Amino acid sequence: MIFFSSLYHAPQNFAIYPHFKRIPFYFKFALDKLNNIRYFILSAEPHPGGNYGRTPHITAEMLLEAGAAITLEKGADALNVRSVAAKLNCSVQPVFRNFGSMETFRRAVIEYLDGTYQSFIAQYLDKSDYLFTISLAHILLARDRRNLFGVLFLSNEYGSRTVPQIISSPWNREAIDCTAVQYGLTVKEAEAVYRDVRFYTFGIAEALYAGSLIAEEDELRQLLRGAIRKFCAK
């Protein structure tokens, strides 16, 4: 777009007005400068206080969505400021402006993915049948949200734990307590059942994730019910 183009009408007879010969050059030079300034303003990333150009303001939510998408598509190792900037077609500044550091941003992305995971599990969870429904939910997570399952459970990117640590984890204690009540077990017995069912569950989940197992949901339910009965009968 040319600024003020409608204001400029060069004289037709330069012989009569010789001093006008230089005007087109100078005026074109000025217009080019104005257009360069305009391009810079419209191309620059907007200031946090407002949107001065066509590029939308990059919010924390947009950054988290981009970070989660990169992690799910390419793995946690691919998450960095440059990959996020490329995903959103912006500079690296929004990451630091919203989160302060890349490490803080990484933790926020983990929490974001964990929220997605928790929402998926909550769809299936029934506390009156806790052990079965939470186990089934993880199997279906591997089947229906393969990348999310892989990022959260098939890497040590977010830490490793021993079997006792898994059993003593606060987020597993409720399942263990509910199992004890539902099946008339002691807490120790319920811990053993939870442990065995958990690893049986993840065996099925990993087979689904790898594509080495194809099964309908009814089949998966039957396998899981049968395994719980056998583990409780020990």
* Residue 156: pLDDT band with limits 50, 70, 90: confident
* pLDDT score for 8: 35
Mean pLDDT of 17-23: 45
* pLDDT score for 178: 96
* pLDDT score for 158: 65
* CB neighbour list of residue 123: distance below 8 Å, 6 or more residues apart: 137
CA dihedral 14, 17, 18, 23 (to 10 degrees): -80
* pLDDT score for 65: 97
* pLDDT score for 40: 37
CA atoms within 13 A on the CB side of 134: 19
Q: 195-213: per-residue pLDDT in tens?
A: 999 999 999 999 999 999 9
- The amino acid occupying position 86 is A
* CB neighbour list of residue 121: distance below 8 Å, 6 or more residues apart: 134, 137, 138, 141
- What predicted TM-score, i.e. pTM, was given to this entire model? 0.72
Could you tell me which CATH class the domain 60-112 is placed in? mainly alpha
Q: 23-78: per-residue pLDDT in tens?
A: 444 444 444 444 444 433 333 444 444 444 444 689 999 999 999 999 999 988 99
Map out the domains of the chain as residue ranges. Answer: 5-43, 60-112, 123-233
Mean pLDDT of 151-178: 89
Neighbours of 175 (CB within 10 A): 21
Residue 22 has pLDDT above 60, yes or no: no
Q: 91-102: per-residue pLDDT in tens?
A: 999 999 999 999
What is the rounded distance in angstroms from the CA atom of residue 220 to the CA atom of residue 216?
Answer: 6
Higher per-residue pLDDT: 31 or 88 = 88
Mean pLDDT of 100-122: 95
Mean pLDDT of 97-126: 95
* CB neighbour list of residue 209: distance below 8 Å, 6 or more residues apart: 142, 143, 146, 149, 150, 154
